[in-house]
Chain A
Amino acid sequence: MTRADPALSFEALTMEFPGVRALDQVSFGVRGGSIHALMGENGAGKSTLLKILSGAYHPTAGSLRHGGVSKRFTSTAEALRAGVAVIYQELHLVPEMTVAENLFLGRFPRHLGFLDRGTLRKEAELLLRRVGQDISPDTRVGRLSLAQRQMVEIAKALGRGARTMAFDEPTSSLSARETGRLFEIIRELRDQGTAILYVTHRMEEVYDLCDAATVLRDGKHVVTHEVLTGVTRDALVKSMVGRELTNVYHYRPRPHAPGGLEVRGLFGPGLRVPVTFAVARGEIVGFFGLVGAGRTELLRLLCGVVPPVSGEVRIHGTTLVVDSPRAAICAGLVFCPEDRKKEGIIGVRSVAENINLSARREHLRAGAFIDSGWETRNAATQIERLGVRTASADTLIGLLSGGNQQKAILARWLSEPVRVLVLDEPTRGIDVGAKSEIYGLIHDLAAAGTSVVMVSSELPEVLGIADRVYVMREGLVSAELSRPKATPEAVMRAALPAGAAV
């Protein structure tokens, strides 16, 4: 193998699912010692490509070359043995086992046939040090944070001598600091000669981290940039979505009317002091804070998921007894949760069923019977409106790509007339084009009088769409900034822990 040869290459890779061709003759190469971005709209086929790489799926046609040899992995274990590791978004560790046990799962060091705990600990510590983690190898994985688990997963791959690694949207639930740490490690891996394939929807990450980039669209290879210098952001976006994208946030000032959502002295688990705030009718309010600032906790109290200790919530002037999500929904306050897989989708049911789950209660016949005509129409309308890519409304939602699942969950809440729309990280995993459409929809809803509360860890997104920004830090609201005053500097200053310098 000469230096110029790619360490990993795909040759005319095609993958068909019933009714969908997820990959269509995709060919490109990834050099050793480089970080290669893989980009494309939701459903473009990125995760499918990674699953073929890891041996989880078998391609319909085409092949994979690794280290100059044509390979066809039949299982993840086989891919790992060949030095290929894929780090998925949903991590594959056993939460009940310790870090050390997870690291050596399936190949425990033995001494005279017995598990050699001493060696296990020592080797685990070595691996953890390589990813810069000082977690004890005896901690149970279930107690680690998501970022720490990701590091353990990377350490596990290193322990098996992975020479090629792929990451599927690894930063989507990490804090800024954790992301920084992850990048350091990925760069170290690159410098040691590892070939890295990196899937992301975030443009900044592509320019920050990656050396090369490949764009997929509708399962087809669009372009591979071997170097990114000179490739503009707009050009990349255009090759992804197939059109120019201007004014992503669609911001325009709207008239506000008082009496939307009023929250007084809301207090409960995860908050340090009672929180008071208001959102007028037609207003979009953003909540920004670093991970752990208490934003999600506040929303869960607001929407009746966790019973508050004290406080009052009024919607359009009426006091609401928030004791369950159901009560909140009945009062016109809906909550789109952050963790799509755990709290959003019902994977074994169809897209239509998932969309109609809540709103169908407003369209019953004789108080108990489903109006199937309305349900079919609503599902079709919403799929169209949000651009959900699915073979049909009857496809199981679990088979859609991550971003399309997210759109279907948003569609659930756009199916009913709402007074207050509460969104927790609504655009996580959604591609740039679809993001822009969703921002547009949020603005339309606000223009029609809905009060919108949006939590996001992405500062540009919050600043781009909100009329007003509340900043949270360590379980309290540390600042309230109107749109003109909400500069990145001001927001960050309020978001950082007291005493920390910007």
Chain B
Amino acid sequence: MKLIAAMSGGVDSAVAAARVAEMGHEVVGVHLALSSNPQKYRSGARGCCTIEDSHDARRAADVIGIPFYIWDMASEFHEGVVENFIAEYSNGRTPNPCLRCNEKIKFAAVLDRARALGFDGVVTGHYAQMKETSAGRLMYRAVDPAKDQSYVLAVLNSEQLAGAHFPLGDIVKTDTRKEAKARGLYVANKPDSHDICFVPSGDNAGWLRDRLGSESGPIVDESGEVLGEHQGAYTYTVGQRRGLGLTVPAAGGIPRYVLKIEPKTNTVVVGAHEALAVEKIVGDRPIWCGPAPISGRDHRGFAQVRAHGQPLACTYSHNNLEITVHLDEPLFGLAAGQGLVIYDDDRVVGSATVSETA
């Protein structure tokens, strides 16, 4: 096959590219430039958009012995991911930009371009497995649950998954770093990135404040009583406990959590932990990673709402526009905008974006 290997400059994507090249595929390494001003990229080894990273990716491609190019995806990334991130927050929702990037950039803009140029698909260093089954090419969790990244890939439809290759899905005993070292890839010891790549400081609230400005509004309890003031509702997330700065003490000294963000009135609602309990989740924009489950009927499965969250046993159904999930046990703290991913054991069934909880 002819494959484009998306190389971030990190260890995972380097080993992924090396593995497919070794299998005899014709591989071309590509580093995605995601900021329109790469000269101004922060320095440091973490993240996915520094000059060092593009250099590291190039060096890895040289060691593997594959061609290497930089593709400018800055405007696609800005429109598809960064603007959406800001818009979601300003609507009181909590988006996951990595999901968005996979859906709109890596397996859309990049995959489309790769296909047009005559390539069969895109290789990334994500930890997930693709398996050929009688029902087609389906996605499963990685063998190593600690590394599994199928959650952030559940936004890919069958057509996108047909061109997706994840050579690291079966890594379990052999650590990727050891393999990188054995292959002579000097990124072997490079730290992993954890932050959102375009929020260099890791300070989401500060980053958002710079872009959305601050606008003070009330912090209220469930009865509507004003307990304090905030400088921008978007800097809070549902389930948050620290940093509320409330001066009115809670009745009985019970800790208070952010329950809800109401962007229209710029209000943050707080309350007791029990009030965060969620048993029913509704998600819109369903995407199926394989054949769609039969609509209008209950199915058993697992729901996951965070990249490294627990799979929660549930019953779900869908009507093609929405997925409705009933959890066996309640979950505490879920914000609109988060990704809702449905699994059938280890198989990724599909995903939706949380729109309502109860």
Is chain B a partner of chain A in the same complex? no
A-binding residues in B (CB < 8 A) = none
A residues touching B (Cβ–Cβ < 8 Å)? none
